[in-house]
Amino acid sequence: MMDFLEDVFLTQNDISDRVKSLGKEITNDYKDKNLLLVSILKGSILFLSDLMREIKINNCEVDFMCVSSYVGTKSGGTIKVLKDLNTDISNSDVLIVEDIIESGYTLNYVSKIINDKNPKSLKICALLDKPECHKLDVKADYRGFEVPNKFVIGYGMDYNEKYRNLPFIGILNRRYI
Ligand code: IMP
Ligand code: MG
């Protein structure tokens, strides 16, 4: 085991099986819609790139928002929009693609910003969810896995900007926090 890891939580196979079935569900639900995937940078990039390949519809577009709220393993509380959407989404069925829900503050904030732009519909797809940590009532319409109250890294997710490139999802060793 690499010394920064306490454990491997999800292997590449676990992730790809689940992403395939999420892709099938989304394909089915959005067949007759104008799907716009809104990926929240930077944590969701690997999830987005695998998920979009499993969405087998032609009417599928992608855009990005970038928000920041974390330093180390603790939420700073204040969320900053570093990059907003800049196209008209009034004709789009928006699906937010996020890596993980912890307190729910990030998704709550991002959902409000997107809702103010009056999309045709708005739903949330989160790869991971830490239900024990919710502080707001945020629910993912599509959810990959539940996670215990531990800090996870890899598959896009970072600890101080490192480890995003791990192809699996691991639990960060407490000695590093
Ligand atoms: P929330 O606003 O507390 O729900 O936090 C959501 C954001 O915090 C996610 O988009 C992640 O970028 C980050 N985050 C929350 N938990 C973890 C974790 O265990 N590992 C890495 N990033 C995390
Ligand atoms: Mg994130």
On whether the pTM is more than 0.85, the answer is yes
Q: The tokens of 112 are what?
A: 């409000």
Mark the residues whose beta carbon lies below 5 A from ion ligand 2: 43, 99
- Nearest residue by C-alpha to atom 11 in ligand 1: 100
Whether 4 contacts 176, CB under 8 Å:
yes
pLDDT in tens, 55-94: 999 999 999 999 987 555 555 567 889 999 988 999 999 9
DSSP state of 159: B
Q: Which of 19-23, 57-61, 76-80, 133-137 has the lowest mean pLDDT?
A: 76-80
Domains and CATH numbers, the chain: 13-149 (3.40.50.2020)
- Nearest residue by C-alpha to atom 20 in ligand 1: 152
27 three-state secondary structure: helix
Question: Which residues of the chain form beta strands (DSSP E)?
Answer: 5-10, 35-41, 60-71, 74-83, 93-101, 121-129, 142-146, 152-153, 169-172
